[in-house]
Amino acid sequence: MEKQILSTSSFSIFLKKYLFPVLLLIAVSGYLFSYFFEQKIILGAENDGAYKVNRIINEIHPDEIALLGSSRCESNYVPGIISHNAFNYGLSGAQDNVLLFFLEEEVKKNKHTPIIINMDPDGLNNPIGDISYYLYNANYPPVKKLLDTLYKFRYVIPFLKYYGSFEIYTKYYLNNKLNVTKITDHGGSFEGGIVTPEKFNVMIKERLESPLDFKNDSVLAVRLRNILIEHPERKFVFVFSPSHWSYMTMLGKIKDLRAFMNELRSYKNVRVFNMSLMPYPDSLFTNTMHLNYTGSKLFSSALRDSLKTTGIIQ
Amino acid sequence: MLFNSVEFLIFFPVVTLLYFLLPFKMRWGLLLAASCFFYMFFKPEYILILFFTIIIDYYAGIYLEEIKNPKHRRWFLIASIIANVGVLAVFKYYNFINNNITGIGQYFGFTNHIPYPHMILPIGLSFHTFQAMSYTIEVYRDKQKAERHFGYYALYVMFYPQLVAGPIERPQNILHQLHEKHNFSFENAVHGLNLIVYGLFKKIVIADRLSVYVNQVYGDLGNASTLSVLIACIFFSVQIYCDFSGYSDIARGTAKFMGFDLMLNFNRPYLAQSIGEFWSRWHISLSSWFRDYVYIPLGGNRISKWKWYRNIIIVFMLSGLWHGANWTFVIWGGLHAAYIMFELFTKNIRSKIGDAFNIPGKSLIVIYFNRAVVFIAVTFAWIFFRAKTFDQAMQVIHKLGDLDFSLNLTQLCAEKGPLNLVISFLVIGLLIISYRLPRELKLKHNVAFVTVVTFLIILLGKDGKADFIYFQF
């Protein structure tokens, strides 16, 4: 008798007239919307991390020089200045496990162009940055592996997988098309404004209260060595881009950093450019770790000259 | 467990389905077990505190009904209230009182040696304590029969939809419903889901979105301008409304799906034309609680003028303290008391001004003017509610007084970028549009409504399981 409560017509009417139509409508409209959104917005902005992840996985540009790294790569390297065929794959917030993922994808391609890698002086670390970078390709096995415990079941469901990230994609898209808050150039994204000296002094003060050490994650180091050894046909250029003096002052375990640099130099297919101590004034930085657009242009020109002098690029 | 979590997305259909599948006799057990699970999801051990007050009030109710001697009954009621308020005092006000003793001690030159134990406030303590107290008071007043079934009484206090953030129900409204058999009803299910989805929209799309800007401005007041602080204050008014009324909508919706009617807790408060009306629309279950159990027993307005004002001040100060153990909440309550008294003082003058200028009281200009004044007054008071300290509140007020309306984009966007600001205004626009819907969300096109709102939640929602503001109370 009691069990009949759910089998009454009321419940089946609820399913037929309400729940199923709602789910169907959301599924259809969501699928169509996300298809449009992916094609026009996510893949329509070169500075979007999701575009970069998709580009490194699914696109082959034989003459392209890949610039890889974290936010320092994204904001310090102006591709248009370095080379006409350079592309900036830098991802804000992402660290070396992501860098290695990009490297592994890049070396799979049948190419012979140099790969320029921005190395952060604090060493090999693990954060992967914003989850939105990976959602479009979340089910590609290496990406899934990279996400590890961050992977969620909903990433297989169109539309729903972008929940909480639509704004970020739109932001990248608008930045790329309008350059309102940032200046973009082939994947690079640069701060146009200058920070006031008062605000910058606060940043320096905060930096001088935050000691950090060079870290050499052994698992990541092994992965890096393997790539360098297994791909002698590619030239790997490791660059330590300019950091503010306050950042370098607070960096500990410098001996380990030097040892790491020396190890990199020992590979025949590797060149290391240490430009971290270039004496740039405060006005060229947007914070103690990143250059502003003027600083980035200056550094990119210097890097281009070094690359040309050493014959790495023409 | 949070309503805006994946866990609840599983919990709710499972519990509801089981509720309708189980024989009627077993349903209270299911709901009680589900409510315990729901509560224990936050911090399991605090359920013991809840059970302590449940046991006390359960027996207090029975004794209050059985004992005929008025003196003894009164003592039983006082004992039960002391037990409830005592729990509140220990967990919520102990450190606050101790801090004040320390402050007074420093002023008079002695040291306070009373220890500061590390205590976390059990979630929703003020809500279920007040609900429990309303039961014993109603039994004492002979307006409610004592509940003899311990399970049903425990369920009255712990009914999961309103356990942690209300509405603070009265036994007359909910206890008999717990005893009744509810069959699945298409209308209830559809109406319930409309409320749930709309509540989630208010919470995830509006409140959580606005909190980004508000938190940024309050967290970096040094770099804020008058304009950004002003926007943050307005956003907080909308944020707290959507956060709390969103929770109430979800609570009412989940209950409604199973056939239970919880009381309306918010009735579009920012459409109020006076502070008095605002309080009959905002957190109705709490304001009516204070009205019935504090204001009227103190004499209400049927006493001398000054005692009436005293009652207003007491009620609003207590209401402030109920919200949090901090002087900022007391000031917030005090401001509302001042507003109400100002309204009473100026009632005749205002009507004379209206007559002098021949403006009818119900003209649109007057309505919108009154609403704007109420909104500004309430928004100003929220500054003390939102600020962590008195100094921070004063800093906000000073920023407003600076009248710095420079259009610095970084300041204006509170470093979160223009898109966040644009979306924030957009979602407020959506809230205003939603006001065109029927108040109780009994709609003709339910499928279209739920589809559109769900779509908007996925599109504009903030990911990250943000707590409801009122959980801390």
Q: How far is CA A44 from CA A47, B38, B419, in A?
A: 9, 44, 18
Name the average pLDDT for chain A.
Answer: 88
How much is the pLDDT for B473? 55
CA distance A76 to A94: 15
Chain A residues close to B10, C-beta within 8 Å: none
User: Closest partner residue to A26 among B417, B455, B460, by Cβ?
Assistant: B455
CA distance B265 to A97: 50
- Residue A18 near residue B190 (C-beta atoms within 8 A): yes
CA distance B191 to B188: 5
How much is the pLDDT for A4? 44
The tokens for A225 are 């060595």
Residues 230 to 249 of A: which have CB under 8 A from any B CB?
A: none
**In this predicted model, what pLDDT tens digit does every residue of A70-92 receive, in sequence order?**
889 999 999 999 999 999 999 98
How much is the pLDDT for B203? 92
Provide the shortest C-alpha distance from residue A165 to chain B (in Å): 8
The tokens for A121 are 């002086």
Listing DSSP states for B136-157 in one string gives HHHHHTTSSPPP--HHHHHHHH
Query: Taking the mean position of all CA atoms in its chain, how far away is CA B255?
Result: 17
CA-closest candidate to residue B266, choices B202, B192, B317, B210:
B202
Provide the shortest C-alpha distance from residue B462 to chain A (in Å): 5
State whether A18 and B447 contact (CB < 8 Å): yes
Q: What is the DSSP letter of A217?
A: -
CA distance A5 to B229: 55
Asked if the model's pLDDT at residue A2 lies above 50, the reply is: no
State the DSSP H helix or E strand holding residue A175, giving kind and residue range, or none if neither: helix A166-178
Predicted confidence band at A155 (pLDDT cuts at 50, 70, 90)? Answer: very high
Q: How far is CA A224 from CA A126, A140, B37, in A?
A: 13, 21, 48
**In this predicted model, what pLDDT tens digit does every residue of B84-97 receive, in sequence order?**
999 888 888 888 88
Using the Cβ of A31 and the Cβ atoms of chain B, whether some distance falls under 8 Å is answered with no
CA distance A199 to A194: 10
- Residue B315 near residue B276 (C-beta atoms within 8 A): no
Chain A residues close to B423, C-beta within 8 Å: 167
Residues contacting B235, CB < 8 A, separation 6+:
B210, B213, B214, B424, B428
What is the gyration radius of the CA atoms in chain B, in angstroms?
23
Asked if the model's pLDDT at residue A5 lies above 60, the reply is: no
Low-confidence ranges of chain B (pLDDT < 70): 361, 414-415, 464-473
User: Closest partner residue to A30 among B418, B450, B458, by Cβ?
Assistant: B458
CA distance B330 to B396: 18
How much is the pLDDT for B232? 94
CA distance A289 to A182: 17
How much is the pLDDT for A123? 59
| Residue of chain A with shortest Cα separation from B458 | A163
CA distance A236 to A307: 12
Query: Taking the mean position of all CA atoms in its chain, how far away is CA B75?
Result: 31
The label of the residue with tokens 């770099």 reads B223
CB atoms closer than 10 angstroms to residue B140:
21
- Residue B91 near residue B122 (C-beta atoms within 8 A): yes
What is the gyration radius of the CA atoms in chain A, in angstroms?
23
Class of residue A160 by CB neighbours under 10 A (exposed 0-12, middle 13-18, buried 19+): middle
How much is the pLDDT for A1? 42
Positive or negative CA dihedral for B420, B426, B427, B428?
positive
**What one-letter code names the amino acid at B119?**
M
Chain B residues close to A21, C-beta within 8 Å: 447
User: Closest partner residue to A13 among B186, B447, B460, by Cβ?
Assistant: B186
Query: What percent of chain A clears pLDDT 70, i.e. is strictly above it?
Result: 96
Q: Is the peptide bond before B171 cis (omega within 30 degrees of 0)?
A: no
Q: Checking DSSP bridges between strand A212-213 and strand A215-216, what pairing results, if any?
A: unpaired
| Residue of chain B with shortest Cα separation from A1 | B23
CA-closest candidate to residue B332, choices B383, B391, B266:
B383
Positive or negative CA dihedral for A26, A27, A32, A33?
positive
Q: What is the DSSP letter of A252?
A: E
Chain B residues close to A3, C-beta within 8 Å: 21
Overall size of chain B counted in residues: 473
Asked if the model's pLDDT at residue A214 lies above 90, the reply is: no
- Residue B147 near residue B452 (C-beta atoms within 8 A): no
CA distance A81 to A21: 55
